[in-house]
Structure 1
Amino acid sequence: MATRKDGTTPGSSATARRAAPRGGATRTARPPARGTSAVPADGLVVGDVPVTARVAGALLALAGLVGAVAVFPGYLVVGGEPLSLATGPLDVLVALVTPLVALAVGVLTALGRVPRFGLAYAAVAGGLGTGRLLIELYQGTASTTRPGVEVLAGDLVVTSTVVTGAGWVLGVVALALTVLAGVVAVLAWGRTVMEDGGALDALRPALAGSAVLLAAVAALCLALPAADVPDGLVTDPATGLVTVVTTEGPRALLERPGLALLGGLVLAAGLLLCAGVAASLRPRLAAVGGLLALAVVVLQAGLSGWRDALHSTDLDWTVPGIGLLLLGIAAVGLAVLAWRWQPGPGRPAVEDDEPEDLRRL
């Protein structure tokens, strides 16, 4: 083959010029651009579970167990009439919702499984349990100081005399254990290592806003009776005139004195505070635990109002009671959404020909 004077074969210089990059600089091959695949799983990392976290779980499980047992003994004796939370299958099912969930989450936490999930549940349940404990103490000890019409265990009663039973005592112990579990959970939070890839971060602002709005409406619904006495209609036989007769019903939560008023205010403030905090907890399962505790409290209140309306023929289910049930279901939906949320596909990679500063963006 013929060669030129510079020692190159014909066509080789053109080929070399075409192979060389512009400017004479040699560029290394880059891997192919990534496609728009879905973001991978969170990659949950759990460290050593401290003893305080396991203690918080054990206290929460004990609270659930005591609360489940408290359903069956006598609750209160009001005006000589014994009251019980277990007068039928529906009453038992409604009363066992909160204790069984607390028992399951507490056992899971005591075993060291997904600890921040259980700690978040215990912290929120303990904070909301403080208001419920004050209300329960009022019903069993101080409600006779200002007698009035109340709905207790599904019955419409007048709190002229109140004698506590074993069920009430066990219920108070269960609430006190829940509050104690919440305190220990807060102490154990910073020592518990549990983190993920942050797949829920993009949804947290919307989740927090929805939870706070839900909690605000729930607090308004709790301020009014979930089951109330309907007004009566009386017809005058002489004139045929129909008159509305207002019947005294149960007092609203914020109309009660002393411990009940304080408990209602603490419960309303706790709903708003816990709703905002729960959605910001890390990792994802911690937010799920906090939202689940909030949902259980609201759902329990809605189911109790429904049970009261079905239990007594003197009571009607009110709009706030229906609202509490719907809000409880919506809160459960928020917890499920936080648990199952998956972010959308990632952005495609930036082309290699773009400047370096644009690729960094």
Structure 2
Amino acid sequence: MIKNVSLLLLCVLFFVQNIWARDYDFVVAKDGSGQFTTVQEAIDAVPSFRKETTTIFIKKGIYKEKIILSEPKQHIKLIGEDVLSTIITFDDYAQRKNKFGEDIGTSGSASFYCLGNNFTAENISFENSAGPVGQAVAMWVAADKATFINCRFLGFQDTLYTYGKGARQLYIHCYIEGTVDYIFGSSTAWFENCELHCKSKGYITAASTPDTSSFGYVFNNCTITGSSDVQTFYLGRPWRPYAKVIFMNSTMPAFINGAGWDNWGKESNEQTVFFAEYNNTGAGALSQSRVKWAKQLSNEQGQNISLSAVFGDWEIDFPVSNQANFR
């Protein structure tokens, strides 16, 4: 009987592994049931400048790795087995010292570096587990045409660094949390149906949009939530003078500061930024106390903001799925 059960289990395991082999190019599993036990090994195995999509399935587990997906590693798709249980994490932070005794800095603190264009991630949690120790990046994205679907970005200050100037990025049904400037950088990024979770107090965005970019961040159909100890949050402040951020069709709770936006201590920024809102709801929306230099878009202006207007020739097939449950 025991032999028969063991044989049955082996057959089931063989069958499942063959399904994975047919559906994915590579499988990563900490228990050794895939081709690789680390995510970095699987990425390294992808031929540089491959023009077809390489799909990597990552089984449940906590993968403590500092990952670099370099520029030649293009058209890579990472799919996690479960968003709550497939976690890529590391614990670097800006003030940590390198071997020369120097601070590694904000850029050096990232858990995952994404430089290869046409990257996709689904059902994965990207985490910086250093805690509230200053700047500690979970995801650093310089790739163009990068898409994140049903992913979580976990950290405190500077959680998601959209680094690439002119790079286009799409976040769908994602959960992003943090305190100060927890979504920041120079990329053009559209956030659709995302949950922005505010911890303690701070600023949701710190865009550094180049003056040559027509759009920076667009948040559409998003929901802002807060932890039990949340105090007050601003929608954003400009890391660079031409920062551009739009919140539209989104829900804003009462802890959003009435002013909405901050000029980062420089009145000159008020003349160059584009901070705008359209058709938002909730106790924190449509405040009469909004700073005068922020914009309330008209119906015509709001309805003209679309994926094609923001991303140009990047054609996107929107996945149809329900709002993810990140709890």
TM band (smaller chain):
under 0.3
* Higher Rg of the two aligned structures: 1
Which structure has more relative contact order (CA 8 Å, sep 6+)? It is 1
- Report the TM-score when normalising by structure 2: 0.22
Taking structure 1 as the reference length, what is the TM-score of the superposition? 0.20
Higher strand share: 2
Query: Which structure has the highest helix share of the two?
Result: 1
